Structure 1
Amino acid sequence: MNTPAAPLRVLIVDDEPLARLRLAQLVREVSAGGDPAAEVAGELGQAQAALDWLARQDADVLLLDIQMPGLDGTALAARLQALPRPPAVVFVTAHAEHALRAFELEATDYLTKPVRRERLQAALVRVARRSAAPGATATVLPVIVVSERGRLVRVPVADVLYLKAELKYVTLRTATHTYVLDDALSEIEQRLGDSFLRVHRNAIVAKAAVSALERRASEEEGAEGWAVRVGSSGEWLAVSRRQVGAVREALTASGL
């Protein structure tokens, strides 16, 4: 006979008393259904108080607000990573613009207020599954989080063909979709790692998406210049003169 798993210990950290009350009630509702079993281990209104609390006892998951007086939620999440057994973090906030930073901190989930019980349940189920296999390393797929028509979309980095700065925005292109981001191209580049290649001051391309490097007429350079062909779409992106050598070297190393 299998021994029932211990309830998840949930610590709620939010500076708004009504928000804490609402989350506590939702946790109880989820636990009443048994999937997963969970209990509210504590309710706190400040991030520093949460650090002090965690120094004395354990929690399996934090339901964590972001914008709070003093230490904010993302700063707290960053500090938690130094703990020997850091709790999972589920951000709960009214501010969708913090989603990218949240996933950089490897948050288990990101819920926007008002929180629905079904969404909280899904987040807690994810935490429970990871807790059930403490020796396993959770796989977190790299994503770029974008806002589209008021909803958050997680675009796997593996699906990205290129990113291109245009006027005040950055265009992210996949094989099937185009997204618009507010982030600076240089900031995005730092998060992508060496699977992407800077080909121009305004463009970064996935190495795996490049199918050719050729000399072509370039509108951006004002004359014939180098360009890379990207993906099955056959799109061409200009390669600046200063980047040609690095692009050719990188593509040769990758077998192109």
Structure 2
Amino acid sequence: MEIRAVIIDDEPLSRQELLHLLSEHPDIQVIGEAPSAEKAMEIILTKEPDVLFLDIEMTGMNGVELAETLQHMKKPPAIIFATAYQDYAVKAFRVEAVDYLLKPFDENQLAQAVSRLKMRLKPAEVKPPSAGRLAVQSEDRIIYLEPDELLYVYREGRDTFLVSEKGTYPTKLSLKELEQKLKHYSFFRVHKGYLVNIKKVEELVSWSTNVFELKVRNSEKLIPVSRNYVKELRETLEL
């Protein structure tokens, strides 16, 4: 796993030392250096690094203030503070820093920090879909539906319905509960009241810049699509 890093420190010698030590870790690729938080922001926004090795006491915005600012990003980089000051450890914990390295840098402590970083950035394990099916209770029987057979799921008032080519079935599960159960299958929320099996989608119909609907296989119903979901839906559907 290649980890893209930026070193931020107003002391050139400290940046050089850290750059040299990180060269012993082939998984870490240093893609930029900055002498200040302001200069670092330009690199962070354009190159989107995985981790920052961040000094604290710098001219202008300090490292903790930069880390707090980055928390507002959709996907902020991980932070490893690299500083001569011990007094900011509590604040480092509040911004969920991976580690807190003190100057002069110790090779073993740096190795431990890199190890923690790899654990932080390790992708979450995705469980494969289970062999289970959705159970639908009728008056005198339980019907089991294969998730892949479903066309879509929708909410109407307080009731939730599962729609397949064989019929429409009420369920006691909420749409949110079904979204969780079906998350490992090919279902996509297209509207606050609809989940759609994207393998069954045949057409995306645009009536205007604000009105979109989906047509699914073997169904005459046009399913509303919220404008906020259109871009992500197209990225999911198209090669």
> TM-score when scaled to structure 2?
0.51
Q: Which residue in 2 is equivalent to 1:163?
A: none
Q: Does 1:51 align with 2:19?
A: no
> 2:124 & 2:55 partners in 1: Cα distance?
26
Provide, for residues 150-173 of structure 1, a one-character-per-residue CA deviation record: whole Å limited to 9, x for no partner.
Answer: xxxxxxxxxxxxxxxxxxxxxxxx
Provide, for residues 35-54 of structure 1, a one-character-per-residue CA deviation record: whole Å limited to 9, x for no partner.
Answer: xx111111110101111111
Query: CA RMSD for the aligned pairs?
Result: 1.5
> TM-score when scaled to structure 1?
0.47
Distance 1:117 1:73, change over 3 A: same
> 1:59 & 1:128 partners in 2: Cα distance?
14
- Cα offset, 1:110, TM superposition: 0.4
Q: Which residue in 1 is equivalent to 2:17?
A: 22
Structure 2: state its 5+ residue gaps.
Answer: 127-239
- % same residue: 39
Q: Structure 1 counterpart of 2:79, which letter?
A: V
Distance 1:43 1:80, change over 3 A: same
Contact 1:91 1:109 in 2 (8 A): yes
> 2:62 & 2:44 partners in 1: Cα distance?
16
1:41 to 31, 36, 39: 31
> 2:124 & 2:38 partners in 1: Cα distance?
27
Which secondary structure state, in structure 2, belongs to the residue aligned with residue 86 of structure 1?
Answer: coil
Q: Structure 2 counterpart of 1:89, which letter?
A: I
> 1:69 & 1:95 partners in 2: Cα distance?
15
Provide, for residues 192-232 of structure 1, a one-character-per-residue CA deviation record: whole Å limited to 9, x for no partner.
Answer: xxxxxxxxxxxxxxxxxxxxxxxxxxxxxxxxxxxxxxxxx
Which secondary structure state, in structure 2, belongs to the residue aligned with residue 41 of structure 1?
Answer: strand
1:110 to 94, 100, 103: 100
Q: Does 1:86 align with 2:96?
A: no
Which secondary structure state, in structure 1, belongs to the residue aligned with residue 72 of structure 2?
Answer: coil
Contact 1:13 1:43 in 2 (8 A): yes
The aligned length equals 126
Structure 1: state its 5+ residue gaps.
Answer: 32-36, 137-256
1:124 to 102, 105, 114: 114
Rg comparison, structure with higher value: 2
Q: Does 1:60 align with 2:55?
A: no
> 2:5 & 2:15 partners in 1: Cα distance?
12
Distance 1:126 1:69, change over 3 A: same
